[in-house]
Amino acid sequence: MTFYQSEINRIKGICYSNEGQLRTVISARNYLNDNLDREVNLDQLSNLVFTSKFHLLRLFKRYYGLTPGQYVIHRRLEESKTCLKMGMTVTQTCHSVGFESPSSFSTLFKRKIGITPSDFRKEQFSQSPFRNNS
């Protein structure tokens, strides 16, 4: 084994000392990513990865810096920006990324992104290179 490989293994042992925990949080994150448009609660998620919800919450926060709920909201907002850039309406975007209410989606979007979804969409359209300037 090379010096670098032994150092990598040593550091990995310090940072990620428990492979089982790492697999648990990665499985949880993958499930959340695959089901962004659905409502998933902590009980369901903990049952899927075979751990207590409180332990999962602590692990997820330790490895990703966010709770599973915060992670879902962050990912949904990122996905919504992509949808709005593609020209979807605010209502279509809201429902396609898993939010139930366009008004609560708009409020959350503005609070987290700093601009309303409709203004974000208009801003993207005005910057589009395909826009006809005649």
The pLDDT-based confidence of 16 (bands split at 50, 70, 90) is: low
Q: Which of 65, 82, 108 is at the close of a domain?
A: 65
| 48 and 80 share one domain | no
Render pLDDT for 30-74 as a digit per residue (tens, 0 to 9).
Answer: 999 999 989 999 999 999 999 999 999 999 999 899 999 999 999
Render pLDDT for 23-37 as a digit per residue (tens, 0 to 9).
Answer: 899 999 999 999 998
C-alpha pair distances (Å), 98 with each of 62, 77, 78? 25, 10, 12
Could you tell me which of 65, 39, 67 has the C-alpha nearest to residue 53? 67
- What is the domain range of residue 41? 1-65
Q: Mean pLDDT, the chain, as a whole number?
A: 88
Provide the whole-model pTM: 0.78
Domain for residue 134, yes or no? no
Q: Which of 47, 65, 83 is at the close of a domain?
A: 65
User: How far is residue 120 CA from its own chain's centroid?
Assistant: 19
